[in-house]
Amino acid sequence: MAQTKKRIDEIDIPDSILYYAEHTWVARDGEYYRIGITDFAQDQLGEIIFIELPEVGAGYRKGKTFGCAESTKSVSSLYMPISGEIVQVHTTVSDNPELVNQDAYGEGWMILIKPTNPDDLQELLSAESYRRQLSSV
């Protein structure tokens, strides 16, 4: 069954988290940060059928590709919103990629990182700024 794309005003953009311009999100989780793709990104991809995630211990700089998401219509790179070291990979998402479509900000999270450059957080978008970015697309 074909998935109908959401209108911009139907996209879920929680105020409690931060956003990267390349459609990933960041949420503080104790001393670490949880990362996934936004509701907009999963909506644009359509039905996600495969997710490739990095290994625990790998380090990534902000803006670098940390994995990919494959849908029935395309393959998209996943971009690091902040620099850090992977401390946990949500393997349940690798086994059940549809979780990203169902709950992008909850059970669809992808990685947990220990930040290596806390200043990166200052450059992320608020929910309001991310909404403005989407409105200009």
Task: Sketch the domain layout of the chain as residue ranges.
Answer: 18-132
Write out the two tokens for 32.
């670490």
Tell me what percent of the residues of the chain surpass a pLDDT of 90: 88
Q: Looking at residue 2, what is its pLDDT?
A: 46
Q: With contact defined as beta carbons under 8 Å apart, do 89 and 53 qualify?
A: yes
pTM for the whole thing? 0.92
CATH fold for the domain made of 18-132: OB fold (Dihydrolipoamide Acetyltransferase, E2P) (2.40.50)
Tens-place pLDDT, residues 57-91:
999 999 999 999 999 889 999 999 999 999 999 99
Strand extents, DSSP E, the chain: 18-20, 24-29, 32-37, 48-52, 59-60, 65-71, 75-79, 84-89, 111-115
Whether residue 1 has pLDDT greater than 70: no
Strand 18-20 relative to strand 24-29: parallel, antiparallel, unpaired?
antiparallel
Question: Region 4-8: what's the mean pLDDT?
Answer: 71
Q: Looking at residue 7, what is its pLDDT?
A: 78
Q: Looking at residue 4, what is its pLDDT?
A: 62
Residue with tokens 């395309």, as numbered in its chain = 74
